[in-house]
Structure 1
Amino acid sequence: MRRSAAGLGALCAFALISSAALAVGDGESPARAPGQVEKTFLIPAAEGYGVGECLAAGSGSCGQVVADAWCEAQGFAVAGSFGIAAADEYTGAIEQVPAAKTVEPPIRITCKD
């Protein structure tokens, strides 16, 4: 009985390995690279760190360094783009009657792997 259980276990393991190998691909078509992940963060312009001026410009070495550091802190490799967020990119962008107090638009940083 012990040998038949071991043989059955080996047979099951072989079947699992074979089916996994067949599921990978046909061996002729190239494997697809995983898609690049991007995520956009909206940061209040007056967050208190004093880097809003660097990021608001949308270009320059100061902003790129700060945006890259932000992305690295969030687990991404680099910042793809940064700058002031467009009005349609954040909640509260549509004017309401009566008009609310003026608020600076947030800063947008798009991070990617």
Structure 2
Amino acid sequence: MRRSAAGYLILATALATAGLAHAALAGSDGETPAKAPSHVEKTFLIPSSDGYGVGECLTTPDSACGQVVANAWCEAQGYAAANSYGVAAADEYTGAISQPIASPSERPIRITCRD
């Protein structure tokens, strides 16, 4: 029985495609569960004079509105909730401005959000 060159080409292409698919699937055995994404956290620095008037809530420890405002900020940024909030420490933002920040009320506010 005689086969044409086109028939061999189709057969070779099918075998090569099957080999590539097998190689791509070889990394997963199908029984090991996929790894869950790692816990995602992001810290935002907000100017204390942002114009919303919520700086006092976020800078006063144990304020009634602080956690609510921080959670709302995180949800607006696409995160689930806030882990922590407060006045940012000097080492949490860059010293790009050569003048020192005089008072804590002028320092940025830090909100750390989590997924």
Q: Which interval holds the TM-score relative to the shorter structure?
A: 0.7 to 0.9
2: distance between equivalents of 1:58 and 1:16? 59
Alignment partner, residue 105 of structure 1: 107
- Indicate conservation of the 8 Å contact 1:42/1:108, yes or no: yes
* TM-score computed with the length of structure 2 as normaliser: 0.72
**TM superposition shift of 1:48:** 0.7
- Indicate conservation of the 8 Å contact 1:58/1:84, yes or no: no
What is the identity, as a one-letter code, of the residue corresponding to 1:57? T
What is the identity, as a one-letter code, of the residue corresponding to 2:37? P
Alignment partner, residue 20 of structure 1: 24
Task: Give ranges in structure 1 of 5+ residues lacking alignment.
Answer: none
Question: Please, which of 26, 51, 56 is the counterpart of residue 53 of structure 1?
Answer: 56
- Indicate conservation of the 8 Å contact 1:58/1:82, yes or no: no
How many residues end up aligned between the 2 structures? 108
**TM superposition shift of 1:32:** 2.3
2: distance between equivalents of 1:6 and 1:77? 52
**TM superposition shift of 1:60:** 4.4
- Indicate conservation of the 8 Å contact 2:101/2:107, yes or no: no
2: distance between equivalents of 1:8 and 1:25? 27
2: distance between equivalents of 1:73 and 1:47? 16
Q: Residues 20 and 50 from structure 1, CA distance in 2 versus in 1: closer, same or farther, beyond 3 angstroms?
A: same
What is the identity, as a one-letter code, of the residue corresponding to 1:108? R
Alignment partner, residue 31 of structure 1: 34
Task: Give ranges in structure 2 of 5+ residues lacking alignment.
Answer: none
Which structure has the greater CA radius of gyration? 2
Alignment partner, residue 76 of structure 2: 73
Root mean square deviation, CA, Å: 2.8
